[in-house]
């Protein structure tokens, strides 16, 4: 498991250390650290079904969800909410070619869960992160929006309960490529 704190990028004076931190998955969490989970959520889909008794909305077909510069695209999502006087999103579970992006940073996987209460995004199943030409591949990615720390595991199972449907093509290892900055 690769876990790198956000402060590593701030304290690394050498470009090489910053690049290694980027390869560890920090790139996406740096872009998402401080993300406003309370910002309005906009959505669009080919079909939307409100399941009022279950406090759930099912969006399917070319789903796009935007919140404060963070975009999630998927084939299908389940949005769980509470309705105690006003609607509040609790969790979004996305399946089918899931992409989470902000700026030039992009994470892809088979399944993703955005837990609004814990401010954690978990992606699983053939996870791929991209930032420019730098890449990181693994089985499961956990992004903590509060701390700005990302973890990448080679396998898609873990304590989050989110697992992907496909095995990691790297055989359960975290792999990637990164560009070495020119000095």
The reply to whether 182 falls in a domain is: no
Residue 169, C-beta contacts closer than 8 angstroms, at least 6 positions apart = 126, 137
Residue 36: domain span: 2-177
Per-residue DSSP letter, 53: G
Domain assignment of residue 10, yes or no:
yes
Q: What predicted TM-score, i.e. pTM, was given to this entire model?
A: 0.72
154, part of any domain: yes
Q: What is the reported pLDDT for 112? A: 95
- Average pLDDT value over all residues in the chain: 77
Domains contained in the chain, number: 1
Q: Is residue 21 part of a domain?
A: yes
Residue 93 inside a domain? The answer is yes
Write the CATH number for 148: 2.60.450.10
Instruction: Give the CA radius of gyration of the chain.
Output: 17
pLDDT under 50 in the chain at which residues? 1-29, 159-160, 165-166
The helix (H) or strand (E) run that includes residue 105 is strand 105-115
183 occurs within a structural domain: no
Per-residue confidence (pLDDT) for residue 21, from 0 to 100: 34
């Amino acid at each position: 498991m690769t876990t790198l704190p956000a402060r590593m990028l701030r304290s690394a004076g050498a470009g090489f250390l910053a690049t290694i931190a980027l390869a560890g998955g920090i790139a996406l969490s740096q872009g998402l650290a401080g993300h406003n989970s309370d910002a309005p959520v906009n959505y669009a889909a080919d079909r939307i079904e409100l399941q009022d008794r279950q406090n759930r909305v099912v969006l399917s077909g070319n789903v796009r969800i935007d919140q404060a510069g963070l975009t999630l695209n998927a084939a299908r999502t389940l949005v769980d909410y509470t309705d105690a006087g006003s609607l509040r999103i609790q969790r979004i579970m996305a399946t089918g070619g899931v992409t989470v992006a902000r700026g030039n940073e992009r994470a892809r996987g088979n399944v993703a869960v955005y837990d609004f209460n814990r401010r954690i995004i978990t992606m699983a199943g053939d996870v791929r992160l991209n930032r420019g030409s730098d890449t990181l591949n693994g089985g499961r990615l956990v992004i903590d929006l509060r701390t700005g720390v990302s973890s990448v595991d080679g396998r898609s199972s873990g304590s989050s309960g989110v697992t992907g449907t496909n095995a990691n093509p790297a055989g359960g290892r975290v792999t990637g490529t990164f560009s070495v900055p020119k000095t």
